[in-house]
Amino acid sequence: MNRNRINIPLKLLYLQGKSPLFRIILNFVFPIMTELKTPDISIIDIDKIRADFPILSDKVNGKPLIYFDNGATSQKPIQVIETITNYYKHQNANIHRGVHTLSQEITVAYENARATVQKHLNALYSHEIIFTSGTTESINLVAHSFAKQFLSNGDEVIVTAMEHHSNILPWQMVCEERGALLKVVPINSDGELILEEYKKLLNKKTKIVAVTHISNTLGTINPVKEIIDLAHAQNIPVLVDGAQAVPHTFVNVQDMDADFYCFSGHKLFGPTGVGVLYGKEKWLNQLPPYKVGGGTIKTVSFERTEYADLPLKFEAGTPHIEGGIGLAVAIDYVNEIGLDKIAAYEHDLLEYATGLLQKTDGVKIIGTAKNKASVISFVVEGLHAFDIGTILDQLGIAVRTGHHCTQPLMTHYCIQGTVRAAFAFYNTKQEIDLFIQGLERAIKMLR
């Protein structure tokens, strides 16, 4: 049913009339129709979803697994697992280089996977989708190729205080190589970017801005569109690290107007070792290849090489074929559930867990932004995150402990590390209850 199509005339009736019929529509029919528009999180069939993830039925240390380490990597539905085994059982061949049937069929499947990613991100062209090994490689590709072409002595690159090391180190390295400066947008005590400071950092020397969409440690959802608009006002391109965003939210690269957008398959319920770099055609065409070799060329002689067009120019060597195909299946899987429902369901989990953690003695949540994804980092007064994580593990509860590859952020908060619980759509409130009980037990044991 197209709810919008029904709602528009009803609203017109509401504005127009006072007749009894209109009043009936106004008082009874319209509220029902409006109610239909609010996302109903109960529409998520949690039992059916959990049954799709074989690992969720496993025991760890004799206890049913409660997997809250989704920020590090997500679990895989059976549809993805079977796609990969089927590839090795019945489809295995190399792509883009064979006349035989298997090679041609798998080439089509791989290119269809690229088209699935294009559609999912709403990219304009499928050749704007480059398959990489993950977010880290995508950012390295842009940093190194961009620096080669555009970065000189005295130029500036802007990152933020909440970046993952994967969105700091490549920029730090190319800045050192080129004599450029790395500038850092600071955050406030809630873990939100201070946009007034960002505005002050943008200037004629700024060559690129690299920012995370969602912080893997704090859960903060950054206002990337605003960040991009401000940079574009000065013709500065922006790379968005979407590693933590793509599993939780709709990403529309055209609407956002991102110049580059990166993510990893394994955090999106897909295989490890595959990821995506989206780049606007105009930028990718200007960048030199990052890695070179088989697959990236049109012609080679010992005197001169002519490189292939997009996307192959950036895809050297045999790619992670089953990874690309498995990623497309994972994308279809989340779309089947609906990212709007996933976001609403996970937000409910976030609020529930936040409420319980706030009541837990000695717990301090790190990252209290107004706009947050389903990631909670916390410290417990006087206790080491590692010790808490170890006791929770004995109870079958997997959380992440440590600096989460965001050491500058730890320095900012004057802490060594946090315990991080990151929820996915297959987690439940019952699991959160058990986690809180386990945490209380750990605190008691360690005090």
Ligand X SMILES: Cc1ncc(COP(=O)(O)O)c(C=O)c1O
Place of tokens 């996307």: 311
**Closest distance of CB 143 from ligand X, Å:** 13
**Closest distance of CB 233 from ligand X, Å:** 26
Question: Considering only CA atoms, which of 202, 210, 203 is closest in space to residue 144?
Answer: 210
The tokens for 190 are 């809630």
Within 373-443, strands assigned E span: 375-380, 397-398, 400-402, 418-422
Residues 6+ apart with CB under 8 A from 75: 53, 55, 56, 67, 269, 424, 426
Angle ∠(428,433,439) on CA atoms, nearest 5:
125
Give the DSSP per-residue string, 53-119.
-GGGG-EETTEE-EE-BTTT-----HHHHHHHHHIIIII---SSS--SHHHHHHHHHHHHHHHHHHH
Spatial separation of the C-alpha atoms in residues 186 and 172, rounded to whole Å:
17
> Across-strand partners of 2?
none
Q: How many residues does the chain have?
A: 447
Residues that bind ligand X (CB under 6 A): 134-136, 164, 166-167, 212, 216, 241, 243-244, 264
**Closest distance of CB 134 from ligand X, Å:** 3
Which 3 state secondary structure label does DSSP give 405? Answer: coil
Residues 6+ apart with CB under 8 A from 302: none
**Closest distance of CB 299 from ligand X, Å:** 33
Question: Considering only CA atoms, which of 388, 121, 89, 401 is closest in space to residue 277?
Answer: 121
Question: Considering only CA atoms, which of 176, 103, 187, 102 is closest in space to residue 144?
Answer: 176
Specify whether the CB–CB gap between 262 and 135 falls below 8 A: yes
**Closest distance of CB 212 from ligand X, Å:** 5
**Closest distance of CB 167 from ligand X, Å:** 6
By C-beta, is 106 or 245 nearer to ligand X? 245
**Closest distance of CB 406 from ligand X, Å:** 8
Specify whether the CB–CB gap between 379 and 366 falls below 8 A: yes
Question: Catalytic: 262?
Answer: no
The tokens for 29 are 């029919």
By C-beta, is 206 or 217 nearer to ligand X? 217
Spatial separation of the C-alpha atoms in residues 7 and 99, rounded to whole Å:
54
Specify whether the CB–CB gap between 91 and 105 falls below 8 A: yes
Q: Phi-psi category of 396—alpha, beta or left, where left has phi over 0 and alpha has psi -120 to 50? A: left
**Closest distance of CB 239 from ligand X, Å:** 11
By C-beta, is 134 or 295 nearer to ligand X? 134
Specify whether the CB–CB gap between 434 and 388 falls below 8 A: no
Specify whether the CB–CB gap between 250 and 218 falls below 8 A: no
The residues carrying an active-site annotation are 405
